[in-house]
């Protein structure tokens, strides 16, 4: 009996993982990298303006 209960839990866990992978948003890596580059540049520019 314990093995069938474990199998059911394993199947439910797999179905849950499949559902989560379908619904979670895909990362926008390129957009995030460009945005980080721009923001970092603005921070450096602001620091340079303050020092000069």
Considering only residues 22 and 50, tell me which one the structure prediction assigns the higher pLDDT: 50
Mean pLDDT of the chain: 86
CA–CA separation, 31 and 37 (whole Å): 10
In terms of residues, how long is the chain? 52
Place of tokens 């926008």: 28
Q: Is the pLDDT of residue 9 over 90?
A: no
């Amino acid at each position: 009996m314990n093995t069938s209960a474990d199998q059911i839990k394993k199947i439910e866990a797999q179905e849950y993982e499949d559902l989560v992978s379908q619904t979670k948003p895909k990362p926008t890596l390129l957009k995030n990298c460009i945005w980080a580059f721009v923001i970092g540049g603005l921070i450096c520019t602001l620091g340079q303006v303050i020092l000069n």
